[in-house]
Amino acid sequence: MDLPPDAALIFDQDEDLSVFESFVHATNYLEAIDVSDREYTAAYSPDGGVLALTAPEGWTGSVVLTRTGRGDLVDLERRVARYWQRHQIGKPPRDPLETARFLLDRDNQPRMGWLSRVTGLLRRNGPGDEPTLSSRDHFTGQSGGSR
């Protein structure tokens, strides 16, 4: 998958990473109160361009994401490496571009709703069988993601 030209990688205080397909997706999802409270510690384009994340109208206003014209690929790579250590335990780390693609691909996978999963379980199991959940059906508690 090619990354959209306005993709944004945004890190929070827990060193979790959210990847958005565009500035519009990011600003529609992020809340001004979190930006005002400095919940987000850094924002980058996939090539290391530094992005400014602001809430100029305060905590009740909108979120604005802009290019600063500066770059810091070294810091982006360091943050991405820490993300893999803390939030993707046991998986080999990837560079910023691969990480952005990975998170966007993962978050764009079709998801079954809870009713479809339950119906599938009931159809799979005959009378007297215990319903079983596949590993995919378990909530892992992991966030991170791009939205």
What does the mean pLDDT of the chain come to?
84
Domain assignment present for residue 59? The answer is: yes
Q: Which pLDDT belongs to residue 72?
A: 98
Domain assignment present for residue 29? The answer is: yes
Do strands 8-12 and 64-71 pair parallel, antiparallel, or not at all (unpaired)?
A: unpaired
Helices then strands, counting H and E runs in the chain, come out as 5, 5
Answer yes or no: are the C-beta atoms of 51 and 44 closer than 8 Å: yes
Q: Which domain holds residue 36?
A: 8-107
Query: Is the pLDDT reported for residue 132 higher than 90?
Result: no
Q: Which pLDDT belongs to residue 140?
A: 36
Domain assignment present for residue 129? The answer is: no
What domain count does the chain have? 1
What mean pLDDT do residues 45-71 have?
Answer: 96
Domain assignment present for residue 24? The answer is: yes
Nearest residue to 51 via CA among 41, 40, 73, 66: 66
Domain assignment present for residue 71? The answer is: yes
Domain assignment present for residue 135? The answer is: no
Alpha helices in the chain (DSSP H): 23-29, 32-36, 73-87, 96-107, 114-124
